Chains A and B, each alone.
Chain A
Amino acid sequence: MSFGLCLFLMFPSFGWARDSGDNWRNLSPQEKDNVLRNYQRWQNLPPRDKEHLREEWDRWQNLPQDRRDQLKRRYEDQRRRHSND
């Protein structure tokens, strides 16, 4: 009975652990490398740049979805062009 109670109490944390593991696992290898690289870069950024990026992030999140998709496509195009050069 106590085992069952223990299991019942721990069940939400199992779900949380699984979901949180999924966030990282669901990223592609390229996205994982991206996150790792940018996190390390973030550590060395001056506070002013960090603040700027936070503002840009807020702005990005408030953009309409079609605008975000458009900018994303443009960014990918530019990146491809740079890597080809």
Chain B
Amino acid sequence: MKERNCVLENACKEFEADLVLHYYGDDSEADRRRVERHCETCSRCRGFLEDLRQLLPRIAKPQELPPRFWDNYYNEMVEKLALQREQSSWWRNFFSPVRAWALPAFGTAAVAALALFLVFGKAGWHLKPTPSQIPQEILTDANSLEFFNSMDLLESLGTLEKVEGSRTDLRGLRHT
């Protein structure tokens, strides 16, 4: 074996790539002929090709792996993919049985929550609840509430007016 301390012979620049392809046998028929013709007359390119033949097998020595390795590799990949698929879709599996009714149910719950918030939100939850002994139609009617709030006054209205009337009369008499 020719020892050159792993230094390649300088080939012609325009042939370097073609020579590498020629070494691997990846060039076209026309290129192969062109490279061979060139090498007949160019000692540098011949030397370069020779160096490739000697050095490349040592640099990139293919490692033959036993079939068992590839079987294990395949099985491992299949297991990893299965695990990944399982982890990414756990939430889908969780929701899949309820998917048909989940949307309307959650929608209704959200609307109900919003309604409660709008009704009680302004004054908070600590408020005294409305009395159950009074019908809702009275509690919701400002006029009725005012009526029951003023009922004592209404009962005395006649008397109050009489008193007020007599006071006015007295004041009128004093002035005259």
Residues of chain A whose beta carbon lies under 8 Å from any beta carbon of chain B: 2-3, 6-7, 10, 13-15, 17-18, 20-25, 27, 31-32, 34-36, 38-42, 53, 56-57, 59-60, 70-72, 74-75, 78
Contacts and interface: CB of A to CB of B under 8 A. Distances in A.
Given A2-B107, A18-B122, A56-B158, A7 B142 contact: no
Given A2-B107, A60-B157, A71-B160, A42 B119 contact: no
A75 B120 CA distance: 35
B17 interface: no
11 contacts: A22-B122, A23-B142, A25-B123, A27-B149, A35-B145, A41-B151, A56-B158, A72-B153, A74-B164, A75-B153, A75-B156
Given A18-B122, A25-B127, A35-B134, 4 more contacts: A3-B110, A6-B107, A27-B149, A71-B161
Interface centre among A7, A17, A18, A39 (most CB of B within 10 A): A39
B107 A18 contact: no
A51 B130 CA distance: 27
Contacts of B12: none
